[in-house]
Amino acid sequence: MAVLDELSGFEFEDLIEDVFRNLGYENVRQAERTADEGRDVLMEEVVDGIRRAIIVECKHTGTVGRPVIQKLHSAIATFDFDGPKRGMVVTTGRFTNPAQEYADRLQEKDDPYPIELLDGEDLREIADDIGLDLYNGRIEILCDETLRPYDPAAGIDAPVAEAFRDIENIDAGDVPTPHSQVTFRPVVAITADTNAVFETSVGVIHRINDRTRFVVHAERGHPQIADTDVAPLVTENLHSTVDLDVDQFGEVFDDIEERRFGQTQTEYKEWAVERLQDSHTTTVTYTGDNNVTYNKTCEPNRSDISVQSIEPVYLPDVRQTTKLQEYTYPYEYYAAGPSRVTAEDGIHRCVHCDTSGVNDAYTYCPNCGAIACNSHIKTERLEREPVCTGCAVTDRFSLKTKYFYDDENLKAFREEYADMPLHEKVMENKLLAGGSAVTMLLLILGLLVIGGIL
């Protein structure tokens, strides 16, 4: 265990806090520094429905003797906790025989305050189980759990089919199977408590008592806080994860990519503490005993912030592309079974302008495959079906522009137009025909007035 010996005492205690959090203990935090500048770790466990407190003594030393075990036993007895309690001593070195015998006797006599001993070799075994890098004392993230990349009850194509139901002039059932790819992106859900009290000579001027939970994208580079709609998708589905089985998902998706966690769990913890320090720092104005107004910056200490949990999981980023004649429509979303958060919606977007979003109306053009907004969709004159302005062939009849699928349809209508009687030709521009009728009526009325008839 020579590598752990290179850590400082406080670094070792920070490490042990992370170790127990990874082992599944709850409410893991460090106690206040003691007179000898050491810090115990406090935590809790639930066994058979009963919550029990655990007081951990960290000894970054070569040998731990019986007096340390006796002292912890007394500390457990006086520790304020409404329920059963036990102790634990963790060291980078080893325990003397008297220390081990004392702990064994507590177990044999069913003492109400038993003490478990973990030496350097025990830590090495734990390290193998949780991915502890003994070379720098940091917790590596080992994760093979993911949120569900699709809803098995509905199928992988269900989100795209649902999106196409809003598009006019196309049946979602006629949409070709999209190309589906999934990228499993690492995220961590962090829960932390901040408790701090700021006092001056006039008393308490500011308190912080806050629990914060946020989700962080955990790929390479600086951690990024997840959007407010992505975070609950993760936290609300952490209880229903599945194994990241590439072979199984390969039968469903065309392409699969798994990204790696960019930093260690320890680094995400340190980053979270720094972020919470910054976010909770505020300037408080108060009046002193001399009736003078003061401004004080209240910044919580690192010891005021306790990271309760760091839960790694993979977040499926699904991208499906649908090919319709000349156009390809992407639809990308973060998935958690039947729930999803849309990242890109290329289906509800006009191919000819910036109009986008599910609140607008869109129509499919069967002539070229375009999805267009109402401003770029016209009625094809010959077949009376939608056609977009991007592919339509145009010509003017009765001073009005008409839209056609192709030159052949335009030619056919020209021949039809040539055979129309005059009144039908005029009706090809109803606005012009209506205006002409009104003008003629006004002209007749004017003549009647001039002639003295009216």
For every residue of 397-424, DSSP letters joined together read: ETTEEEEESSHHHHHHHHHHHHTS-HHH
Average pLDDT of 429-449? 63
- What's residue 136's pLDDT? 62
Measured between alpha carbons, how far is 250 from 245 in angstroms, rounded to an integer?
Answer: 8
Q: What percent of the chain has pLDDT over 90?
A: 69
Measured between alpha carbons, how far is 337 from 188 in angstroms, rounded to an integer?
Answer: 18
pLDDT digits (tens, 9 = 90+) for 64-118: 999 999 999 999 999 999 999 999 999 888 899 999 999 999 999 999 999 999 9
pLDDT digits (tens, 9 = 90+) for 195-232: 999 999 999 999 999 999 999 999 988 899 999 999 99
Measured between alpha carbons, how far is 235 from 356 in angstroms, rounded to an integer?
Answer: 29
- Which range has the worst mean pLDDT, 308-312, 359-363, 404-408? 308-312
- The structural domains of the chain, with segments of one domain joined by +, span 2-139, 145-322, 348-417, 420-454
Confidence of residue 452 (pLDDT cuts 50, 70, 90): low
- What's residue 1's pLDDT? 40
Cβ proximity of 4 and 134 under 8 Å: yes
- Closest residue by Cα to residue 344 from 165, 160, 172, 153: 160
Sign (positive or negative) of CA dihedral 239, 244, 248, 250? positive
Angle 250-255-257 from CA coordinates, rounded to 5°: 95
What's the CATH fold of domain 2-139? Trna Endonuclease; Chain: A, domain 1 (3.40.1350)
- What's residue 29's pLDDT? 87
pLDDT digits (tens, 9 = 90+) for 325-359: 999 999 999 999 999 999 999 999 999 999 999 99
- What's residue 180's pLDDT? 97
Arithmetic mean of pLDDT over the chain:
89
Higher pLDDT, 447 or 24: 24
- Closest residue by Cα to residue 103 from 91, 125, 88: 88
Identify the burial level of 7 via C-beta atoms within 10 angstroms of its C-beta, where 0-12 means exposed, 13-18 middle and 19 or more buried. middle
Confidence of residue 430 (pLDDT cuts 50, 70, 90): confident
- What's residue 37's pLDDT? 38
Output the six-digit token pair for 42: 């406090």
- Cα–Cα separations (whole angstroms), residue 307 to 76, 210, 358, 421: 23, 12, 40, 84
Measured between alpha carbons, how far is 151 from 336 in angstroms, rounded to an integer?
Answer: 8
- What's residue 234's pLDDT? 97
Residue 396, SS3? Answer: strand
Residues belonging to the chain:
454
Measured between alpha carbons, how far is 209 from 196 in angstroms, rounded to an integer?
Answer: 7
Higher pLDDT, 64 or 440: 64
- Cα–Cα separations (whole angstroms), residue 208 to 130, 193, 306: 33, 10, 13
| Terminal-residue alpha carbon distance, the chain | 116
Cβ proximity of 378 and 392 under 8 Å: yes
